[in-house]
């Protein structure tokens, strides 16, 4: 742990030298509250693991086009419901010798797919394929891996239209995972500002905003989301639907946040440091933004982390019910809706794979949020 103050004033150095005698004291004095929280978080293995999982998932979403061998809309009518090939990537050839990874070509014979041992397709890296764009800017058609035509690689199998489920999960994560981040930023900003203003100003603004909060919290969430969604009609393209979902979810999501922040601000505004700031003649908004709201930050960050799953799951729910992201665009929710057909679900179990990804993402956010809550709690020792 870094204890060096990095100061060139001799007095400071001497102070540090004497403080060295008790290591614990030094750490807690030298680190900011945030530093302590970060140190505590680093010690939690499950929380850090979740953080790494999320980094991998979000990196996958960012580089979806590169990581996935096909585009989300790449159809192959001859390969409907092809079983997953993750376990049929071979590294030993028929003589038992080690070769570069390869897959066999598939052949449809009557009831299902079987490997055609005579057709070998080696897995190649950095191959050219469907064009894609990363962040709308970097355009390319080089994919991390792939096999030559007419062979195909479906790591997690293919869907009803012979589209690669792995690729669609990667592209779907761009929507399903970013909804959480974008939504939480918008709703937290609104929630903190409205809650802060309501608590600090009081009066009419407080009254009106809190009644609005009560109404928003009184309507059952999913139905309200659906009513709002229907207000904008069905003839929207996918990016419009995406922004609509984010805006609707944030519009509902800020309410509970605002209520708690208001309560915290009510308590904080009677504290000495606020009175001191008022005595110094600082402006109301400066006091609110610079002095009061930073004290609610650890709560806000923890709540935000724990609320991201709500956004992810809401997008899944809307797309699953058919009013969210629609075909051919991929989202984890609309991919799962294919499993509503019991026959498909029973015979082609791999169409449930997006559900596993939702579970992993939501669990990682929950565990990370839980770890952050413990880390931000000053009562627990670092």
24 in contact with another protein (CB under 8 A): no
Measured from the CB atom, the residue of 65 and 183 that comes closer to another protein is 183
346 in contact with another protein (CB under 8 A): yes
Q: What angle do CA 378, 380, 381 make, to 5 degrees?
A: 100
Measured from the CB atom, the residue of 111 and 231 that comes closer to another protein is 231
Site string for another protein, 183-222 (x = CB under 8 A): -------------------------------xx--xxxxx
Q: Tell me the closest approach of the beta carbon of residue 360 to another protein, in angstroms.
A: 8
Q: Tell me the closest approach of the beta carbon of residue 227 to another protein, in angstroms.
A: 5
Measured from the CB atom, the residue of 221 and 263 that comes closer to another protein is 221
Cα–Cα distance for residue pair 368/184, rounded to 1 Å:
15
Q: Which stretch, 136-144, 200-208, 273-281, 313-321, contacts another protein (CB under 8 A)? A: 313-321
Q: Tell me the closest approach of the beta carbon of residue 94 to another protein, in angstroms.
A: 34
Q: Tell me the closest approach of the beta carbon of residue 135 to another protein, in angstroms.
A: 28
Cα–Cα distance for residue pair 37/19, rounded to 1 Å:
21
> What Cα–Cα distance (Å) separates residue 130 from each residue in 71, 144, 183, 282?
6, 12, 30, 59
Measured from the CB atom, the residue of 181 and 323 that comes closer to another protein is 323
* Residues contacting residue 373 through CB under 8 Å, at least 6 positions apart: 302, 306
57 in contact with another protein (CB under 8 A): no
Binding residue for another protein (CB under 8 A) from 5, 323, 327, 350? 323
DSSP 205-245: HHHHHHHHHHHHHHS-HHHHHHHHHHHT-S---HHHHHHHH
Residues that bind another protein (rule: CB under 8 A) add up to a total of 41
Per the listing, tokens 């709002």 go with 228
313 in contact with another protein (CB under 8 A): yes
Q: Tell me the closest approach of the beta carbon of residue 349 to another protein, in angstroms.
A: 6
48 in contact with another protein (CB under 8 A): no
Cα–Cα distance for residue pair 118/115, rounded to 1 Å:
9
Cα–Cα distance for residue pair 298/263, rounded to 1 Å:
15
The tally of CA atoms less than 13 A away on the side-chain side of residue 216 is 21
Measured from the CB atom, the residue of 120 and 228 that comes closer to another protein is 228
DSSP type of residue 83: P
The tally of CA atoms less than 13 A away on the side-chain side of residue 2 is 8
381 in contact with another protein (CB under 8 A): no
Q: Tell me the closest approach of the beta carbon of residue 91 to another protein, in angstroms.
A: 31
Query: What φ, ψ does residue 158 adopt, rounded to 5°?
Result: -125, 165
The tally of CA atoms less than 13 A away on the side-chain side of residue 225 is 25
User: What is the contact surface with another protein in residues (CB under 8 A)?
Assistant: 214-215, 218-223, 226-228, 230-233, 309, 313, 316-317, 320-323, 333, 336, 339-340, 342, 345-346, 349, 352, 355-356, 358-359, 362-363, 366-367, 370
């Amino acid at each position: 742990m870094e204890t060096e103050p990095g100061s060139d004033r001799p007095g400071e150095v001497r102070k540090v030298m004497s403080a060295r005698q008790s290591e614990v004291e030094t750490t807690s004095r030298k680190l900011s509250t945030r530093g302590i929280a970060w140190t505590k978080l680093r010690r939690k293995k499950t929380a850090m693991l979740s953080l790494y999982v999320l980094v991998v998932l979000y990196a996958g979403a960012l580089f979806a086009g590169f990581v996935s061998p096909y585009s989300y809309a790449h159809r192959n009518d001859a390969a409907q419901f092809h079983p997953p090939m993750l376990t049929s990537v071979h590294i030993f050839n028929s003589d038992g010798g080690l070769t570069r990874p390869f897959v066999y070509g598939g052949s449809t014979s009557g009831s299902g797919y079987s490997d055609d041992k005579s057709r070998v397709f080696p897995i190649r890296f950095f191959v050219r394929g469907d064009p894609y764009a990363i962040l709308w800017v970097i355009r390319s058609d080089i994919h991390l891996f792939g096999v030559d035509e007419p062979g195909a690689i479906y790591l997690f199998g293919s869907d009803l239209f012979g589209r690669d489920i792995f690729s669609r999960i990667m592209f779907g994560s761009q929507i399903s995972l970013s909804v959480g981040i974008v939504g939480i930023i918008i709703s937290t900003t609104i929630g903190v500002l409205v809650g802060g203003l309501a608590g600090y100003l009081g009066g009419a603004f407080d009254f009106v905003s809190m009644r609005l909060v009560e109404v928003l919290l009184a309507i059952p969430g999913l139905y309200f989301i659906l009513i709002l969604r229907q207000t904008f009609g069905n003839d929207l393209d996918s990016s419009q639907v995406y922004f609509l979902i984010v805006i609707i979810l944030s519009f509902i999501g800020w309410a509970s946040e605002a209520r708690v922040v208001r309560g915290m601000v009510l308590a904080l505004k009677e504290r000495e440091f606020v009175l001191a700031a008022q005595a110094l003649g600082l402006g109301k908004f400066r006091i609110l933004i610079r002095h009061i709201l930073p004290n609610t930050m650890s709560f806000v960050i923890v709540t935000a982390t724990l609320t991201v799953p709500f956004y992810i799951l809401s997008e899944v729910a809307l797309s699953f019910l058919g009013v969210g992201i629609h075909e051919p665009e991929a989202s984890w929710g609309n991919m799962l809706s294919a499993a509503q057909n019991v026959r498909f679900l029973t015979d082609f179990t791999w169409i449930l794979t997006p559900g596993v990804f939702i579970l992993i993402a939501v669990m990682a956010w929950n565990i990370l949020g839980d770890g952050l809550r413990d880390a931000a709690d000053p009562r627990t020792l670092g």
